[in-house]
RNA sequence: GCGCUCGUAGCUCAGUUGGAUAGAGCAUUGGUUUGCGGUACCAAAGGUCACAGGUUCGACUCCUGUCGGGCGCACCA
């Protein structure tokens, strides 16, 4: 819709035109301050220019009026244009807001270590990434969702040790000393049981079998993670295992050529010349590659799979890591600007007004799965999708548990359910409703129709700017418009019943499509709570 | 100390590539159709957009500085 208008104006004026939605609908559907920007070069006042431009528009299919107000140029879309568009959307509901962008994108997100279940902090990046994925796919991008599994290094050894200690303490009744870094949590108990079943009790006391135990356990933990993500309606196309990458290290090292050098018996990457604070070690003195080495091989592999664009969603605590990975990408001979790293900020928790520190190793984490069980996937997804991801988020644990109207997801769901209810109450059939005309709507109805048809622009904007929260914001305001309209205007029994129901169907389509892009199913009816 | 990032209503957050009177929800207060689900709607109150400069016809938005919060500054992952 906006695209259509902006193309039209570009042709007419021979330049890009800034289009915005006026805050006050009485100003029209779209507006542009173009007169201000060209006032200087034309040496005329903005008022005069906009007057002139406004009168230069003739009768036209798209606009019913073009007005000049205080230097702004305000456009009102014609009934024909709006009603045709709405009718098209209703007969092609699956196509509403779709585009065919086609670009191949690799989207890496979550990538939490397989040493324990996902906690509530992981949920934010997971929801953000998955929402971006759904938006992008709707726009026709060919996106692969990938999870990088850090199944190598000390942390995996530590997982093996942790299971042994847990087992020896709880199952064998030994008194054990827990090191500072030891992992804790309920999941360890189930891993102990699983391990004993598979390997027998001996494995708990045999230090030489720690590695074997760890390798088995990390796969079990991944199973838990995948299941928890599935409960949030999040699914990955591919998993890449860090442990599988090191075989390729020598080749990748050679590929970086001048970018790496030997010093003090170690191998370094000259990342400083690409903007890093200093050069970094990639192979230690004892010959073991560092974690960065794994990431370098991984990114080389990504680029060898040749996508047009790469998006990584990392926790904000990794931001210092961006420049060294980009440096490596450059040394490998690829364009680092194709790699876009988005940071998902920390989620800090408050409990009874006091900061609540989670630590995986202290065992006091708030598990994502517990929250999903308590408030449901829809509410959790909405909460995280509706916050800009680059601000640190702070909330009280109690807020999470509230399942009332303070969570706008119920408000939006109710709007959708309301439409479905009223449609089922009407005596008109769906055919009759679809056959009716959307012309001759009053100002409020016209405004609601326009709002509902705005979804495609919101989707495109939300994805392009990576500002996923624009979609939930839009849905909330569309729901508010619907509720208000419903309150002000009696539908059933009115002369315009079929016409208004058709309008409502457009709103429902917009709500449903928008919700599905948030990974949330639109409800046909709300369950009544008696209390 | 250095780097990144954030600072908008009592709280949680929006604010369209710089544009018209800075907006929602929650919380508070007061209202609402002898009508389609009141899980709704309306209204009041609440702001020096952290502070100070600068650029511009125009700044919450861009630039500089100050203050404050978060994160990072490993041969750990």
Average pLDDT over chain A, rounded to whole? 89
Give the whole-angstrom CA distance, residue A411 versus residue A475.
Answer: 10
β-partners of residue A143 are A105
A2-77 maps to which CATH number?
Answer: 3.30.1360.70
Å from A522 (CA) to B24 (C1')? 22
Q: Looking at chain A, how many residues does it have?
A: 531
pLDDT at position A355: 65
Query: Where do runs of H (alpha helix) occur along A426-530?
Result: 430-435, 443-452, 455-464, 470-488, 497-517
pLDDT at position A403: 57
Q: Measuring CA to CA, how many Å separate A232 from each of A218, A247, A378, A445?
A: 21, 34, 8, 36
| Closest protein residue to B57 (Cα–C1') | A36
Q: Please answer whether residues A419 and A508 qualify as being in contact, where contact means their C-beta atoms are separated by less than 8 angstroms.
A: yes
Which tokens is A183 given?
């992992």
Could you give the ipTM of this predicted complex?
Answer: 0.92
Q: Please answer whether residues A269 and A257 qualify as being in contact, where contact means their C-beta atoms are separated by less than 8 angstroms.
A: no
The domain limits of chain A are 2-77, 109-244+345-402, 405-517
Q: Please answer whether residues A292 and A324 qualify as being in contact, where contact means their C-beta atoms are separated by less than 8 angstroms.
A: yes
Å from A271 (CA) to B10 (C1')? 48
Determine the 3-state secondary structure of A31 from DSSP. strand
Give the whole-angstrom CA distance, residue A68 versus residue A480.
Answer: 30
| Closest protein residue to B16 (Cα–C1') | A20
Select A109-244+345-402's CATH number: 3.30.1320.10, 3.40.50.11540, 3.30.980.10, 3.40.50.620: 3.40.50.620
Residue whose structure tokens are 């992981």: A122
Q: Please answer whether residues A366 and A358 qualify as being in contact, where contact means their C-beta atoms are separated by less than 8 angstroms.
A: yes
Which nucleotides of strand B come closer than 7 angstroms to any CB of the protein?
3-7, 12-17, 19-21, 23-27, 33, 35-37, 39-42, 57-58, 69-77
CATH architecture of A405-517: Orthogonal Bundle (1.10)
Nucleotide nearest to A266 in CA–C1' terms: B75
Determine the 3-state secondary structure of A350 from DSSP. strand
Nucleotide nearest to A411 in CA–C1' terms: B39
pLDDT at position A530: 44
The DSSP result for A55-110, as a single string, is: HT--S-SSEEEEEEETTEEEEEE-HHHHHHHHHHHHHSGGGTT------EEEEE--
Task: List the one residue out of A522, A496, A353 whose CA is nearest residue A438.
Answer: A496
Reported as type and span, the H/E element at residue A396 is strand A393-396
Tens of pLDDT, residue by residue over A451-500, are 999 999 899 989 988 989 999 999 999 999 999 999 988 899 888 999 99
Residue whose structure tokens are 């060294």: A324
| Closest protein residue to B17 (Cα–C1') | A18
Q: Which residues of chain A have pLDDT under 70?
A: 59, 350-364, 394-406, 528-531
Q: Please answer whether residues A4 and A58 qualify as being in contact, where contact means their C-beta atoms are separated by less than 8 angstroms.
A: no
Å from A388 (CA) to B47 (C1')? 22
pLDDT at position A60: 73
Q: Which residues touch A291 (CB under 8 Å, ≥6 apart)?
A: A150, A153
| Closest protein residue to B7 (Cα–C1') | A391
Å from A474 (CA) to B42 (C1')? 22
Å from A388 (CA) to B49 (C1')? 18
């Amino acid at each position: 819709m906006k695209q259509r208008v902006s193309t039209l104006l570009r042709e007419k004026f021979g330049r890009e035109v800034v289009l915005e939605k006026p805050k006050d609908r009485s100003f029209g559907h779209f507006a542009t301050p173009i007169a201000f920007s060209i006032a200087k070069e034309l040496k005329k006042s903005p008022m005069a220019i906009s007057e002139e431009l406004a009168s230069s528009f003739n009768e036209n299919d798209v606009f019913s009026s073009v007005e000049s107000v205080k230097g702004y140029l305000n456009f009102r879309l014609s009934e024909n244009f709006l009603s045709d568009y709405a009718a098209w959307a209703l007969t092609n509901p699956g196509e509403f807001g779709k585009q065919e962008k086609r670009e191949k994108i690799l989207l890496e997100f979550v990538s939490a270590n397989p040493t324990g279940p996902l906690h509530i902090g992981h949920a934010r990046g997971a929801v953000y990434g998955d929402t971006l994925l759904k938006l992008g796919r709707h726009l026709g991008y060919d996106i692969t969702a990938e999870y990088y599994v850090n199944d190598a290094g000390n942390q995996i050894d530590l997982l093996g040790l942790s299971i042994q200690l847990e087992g020896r303490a709880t199952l064998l009744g030994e008194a054990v000393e827990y090191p500072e870094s030891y992992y804790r949590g309920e999941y360890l108990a189930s891993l102990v049981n699983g391990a004993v079943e598979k390997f027998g009790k001996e494995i708990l006391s045999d230090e030489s079998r720690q590695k074997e135990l760890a390798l088995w356990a990390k796969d079990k933990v991944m199973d838990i993670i995948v299941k928890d993500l599935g409960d949030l309606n999040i699914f990955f196309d591919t998993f890449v295992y860090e442990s599988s990458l090191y075989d390729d290290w020598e080749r990748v090292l050679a590929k970086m050529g001048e970018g790496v050098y030997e010093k003090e018996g170690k191998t370094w990457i000259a990342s400083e010349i690409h903007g890093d604070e200093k050069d970094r070690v990639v192979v230690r003195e004892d010959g073991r590659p560092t974690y960065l080495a794994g990431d370098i091989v991984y990114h080389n592999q990504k680029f060898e799979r040749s996508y047009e664009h790469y998006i990584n969603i990392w926790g904000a605590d990794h931001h210092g890591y961006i420049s060294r990975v980009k440096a490596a990408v450059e040394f490998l001979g690829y364009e680092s600007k194709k790699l876009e790293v988005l940071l998902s900020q920390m989620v800090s928790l408050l409990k009874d007004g006091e900061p609540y520190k989670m630590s995986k190793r202290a065992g006091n984490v708030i598990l994502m799965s517990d929250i999903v069980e308590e408030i449901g996937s829809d509410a959790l997804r909405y909460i995280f999708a509706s916050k800009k991801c680059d601000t640190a988020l702070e909330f009280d644990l109690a807020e999470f548990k509230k399942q009332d109207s303070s969570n706008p997801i119920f408000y939006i769901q109710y709007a959708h359910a309301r439409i479905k209810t009223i449609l089922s109450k009407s005596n008109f059939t769906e055919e009759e409703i679809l056959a009716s005309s959307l012309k001759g709507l009053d100002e409020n109805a016209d405004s609601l129709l326009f709002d509902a048809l705005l979804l495609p622009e919101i989707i495109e904007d939300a994805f392009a700017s990576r500002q996923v929260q624009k979609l939930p914001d839009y849905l909330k305001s569309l729901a508010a418009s619907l509720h208000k309209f419903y309150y002000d205007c009696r539908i059933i029994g009115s002369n315009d019943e079929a016409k208004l129901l058709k309008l409502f169907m457009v709103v429902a389509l917009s709500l449903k499509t928008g919700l599905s892009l948030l990974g949330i199913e639109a409800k046909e009816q709300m369950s009544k709570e008696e209390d």
